């Protein structure tokens, strides 16, 4: 883009920088050379683990303004959002030598150092501000936004696309789009879908995304109604969004899911959950159906397969699907469009 300067900084290699402090100090020196003392200088970080670089920059250039956007928190992902489990492990000193503890400490240091923290969800803002005793006034919530790729298609075109993928016109297509990993609830989804098939044989589950396929193959065995399409390019993936009947995401924790935003953009009703960060992205009964995330005695979270199955049965028997679809599209335009996100960022900059 015109007016922008790009710096390509190599990753730290142990053979070149045996002391990580040397690497971080070098990067900080380089970035500080970009400063103009007559202007406001903002350095916007997108990863909490870059604390060492941010700290060195503040040390070298005290006038530098540090912003950080919290896209994800590694220790939250590792524990599936279970903050109580973290506290239990800390009390029992189980985390003393673990990477989770290092990430927990580094994340807190980065959040405290930053002059402004941008959260993607209200729940994450509350959780981390409470956990690290942060000043809420120095944080703001700006949700993700994506460019609009929704193209309305006719019923005949929709059927043609379905046929090209080998689907029947009367198939009830359920779409999961995202990484194939434990924290996304794909295991629960597949097990619930196999039960759903006995009640609604016309259903078909399409799983789009990369990950450890072998983890799930033993669950599907010879079920021809479950299709793994792997990681698709955007054009192919968006075709599936256009022909799907409902989208599903059973994550245990999210920040601001691009998958949910894409579903809203295409007017695709959502089967989601009450998980932190996910629940606030859509309304139960307005944009789809929420499944309650439950807690076991040991503090871990789970979903009841019977409630997942019932959510799909309720959705497919709903005669207001057209209204729900329009609600989803309107919600995207109001909350998650690229313009909405950029306008909010612009307001943040103007406030300096």
Q: What is the Cα–Cα distance from 173 to 245, expressed in whole angstroms?
A: 5
Range of the domain at 49: 20-141
Residue 297 resides in a domain: yes
Q: What is the Cα–Cα distance from 77 to 109, expressed in whole angstroms?
A: 18
Same-domain check for residues 119 and 160: no
Residue 314 resides in a domain: yes
Q: Could you say which of 119, 141, 163 is where a domain stops?
A: 141
Q: What is the Cα–Cα distance from 216 to 228, expressed in whole angstroms?
A: 10
Same-domain check for residues 74 and 189: no
Residue 341 resides in a domain: no
Same-domain check for residues 56 and 132: yes
**Which spans in the chain are helix H?**
20-32, 51-60, 74-78, 83-91, 99-113, 122-132, 155-164, 186-199, 214-220, 234-243, 258-265, 305-316, 321-331, 338-350
Give the β-pairing of 301-302 and 294-295: antiparallel
Give me the pLDDT at residue 291, please: 98
Same-domain check for residues 216 and 258: yes
Give the β-pairing of 65-70 and 116-119: parallel
CATH of residue 170: 3.40.50.2000
CA proximity to 263, closest of 288, 280, 284, 285: 288
Same-domain check for residues 86 and 193: no
Residue 10 resides in a domain: no
Q: Which SS3 state, helix, strand or coil, does residue 64 take?
A: coil
Structure tokens at 65: 């303004």
Quick count: other Cβ atoms within 10 Å of Cβ 122? 13
Q: What is the Cα–Cα distance from 257 to 120, expressed in whole angstroms?
A: 9
Same-domain check for residues 262 and 129: no
Same-domain check for residues 79 and 137: yes
Q: Could you say which of 141, 176, 202 is where a domain stops?
A: 141
Chunked mean pLDDT (size 10), the chain, 352 residues:
76 60 85 86 91 91 94 90 83 71 91 97 95 94 96 92 93 96 92 96 96 86 89 95 98 95 98 95 98 90 97 96 97 98 95 87
Residue 116 resides in a domain: yes
**Which spans in 207-299 are helix H?**
214-220, 234-243, 258-265
Same-domain check for residues 194 and 316: yes
Same-domain check for residues 131 and 159: no
Same-domain check for residues 205 and 86: no
* Residues found in the chain: 352
Residues 6+ apart with CB under 8 A from 214: none
In the sheet with 116-119, reading across from the earlier edge strand, the strands are 42-45, 65-70, 116-119, 139-141
CA proximity to 272, closest of 247, 237, 298: 247
- Is 117 within 8 Å of 141 (Cβ atoms)? no
Give me the pLDDT at residue 81, please: 85
Long-range contacts of 40-48, Cβ-Cβ distance < 8 Å, separation of 24 or more? 40/65, 40/352, 41/65, 42/66, 42/67, 42/349, 42/352, 43/67, 44/68, 44/69, 45/69, 45/110, 45/114, 46/71, 47/71, 48/73, 48/74, 48/103, 48/106, 48/107, 48/110, 48/111
CA proximity to 191, closest of 210, 172, 171, 216: 216
Q: Could you say which of 141, 175, 210 is where a domain stops?
A: 141
Residue 195 resides in a domain: yes
Same-domain check for residues 110 and 165: no
Q: What is the CA radius of gyration of the chain?
A: 23
Residue 293 resides in a domain: yes
Query: How many domains in the chain?
Result: 2
Residue 83 resides in a domain: yes
Same-domain check for residues 67 and 43: yes
């Amino acid at each position: 883009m015109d007016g922008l300067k790009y710096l390509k900084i190599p990753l730290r290699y142990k053979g070149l920088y045996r002391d990580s402090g040397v690497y971080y100090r070098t990067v900080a020196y380089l970035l500080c050379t970009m400063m103009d003392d007559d202007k406001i200088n903002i350095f916007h970080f997108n990863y909490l683990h870059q604390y060492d670089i941010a700290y060195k920059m503040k040390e070298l250039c005290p006038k530098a303004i540090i912003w950080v956007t919290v896209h994800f928190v590694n220790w939250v992902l590792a524990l599936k959002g279970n903050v109580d489990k973290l506290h239990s492990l800390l009390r029992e000193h189980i985390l003393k030598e673990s990477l989770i503890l290092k990430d927990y400490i580094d994340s807190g240091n980065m959040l405290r150092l930053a002059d402004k923290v941008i959260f993607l969800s209200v729940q994450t803002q509350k959780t981390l501000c409470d956990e690290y005793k942060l000043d809420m006034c120095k944080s703001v919530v700006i949700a993700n936004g994506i460019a609009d790729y929704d193209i309305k298609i006719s019923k005949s075109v929709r059927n043609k696309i379905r046929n090209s993928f080998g689907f029947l016109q009367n198939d009830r297509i359920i779409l999961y789009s995202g990484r194939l990993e434990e924290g996304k609830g794909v295991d629960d989804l597949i097990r619930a879908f196999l039960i759903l098939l006995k009640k609604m044989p016309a259903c078909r589950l399409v799983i789009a995304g990369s990950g450890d396929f072998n983890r799930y193959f033993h669950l599907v065995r010879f079920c021809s109604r479950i299709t793994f399409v792997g990681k698709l390019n955007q054009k192919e993936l968006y075709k599936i969004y256009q022909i799907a009947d409902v989208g599903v995401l059973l994550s245990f924790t999210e920040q601001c899911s691009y998958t949910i935003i894409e579903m809203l953009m295409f007017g695709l009703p959502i089967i989601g959950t009450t998980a932190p960060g996910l629940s606030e992205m859509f309304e139960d009964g307005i944009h789809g159906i929420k499944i309650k995330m439950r807690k076991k005695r040991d503090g871990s979270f789970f979903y009841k397969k019977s409630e997942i199955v019932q959510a799909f049965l309720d959705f497919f028997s709903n005669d207001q699907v057209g209204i729900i679809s329009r609600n989803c599209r309107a919600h995207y335009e109001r909350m998650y469009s690229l313009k909405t996100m950029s306008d909010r960022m612009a307001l943040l900059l103007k406030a300096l």
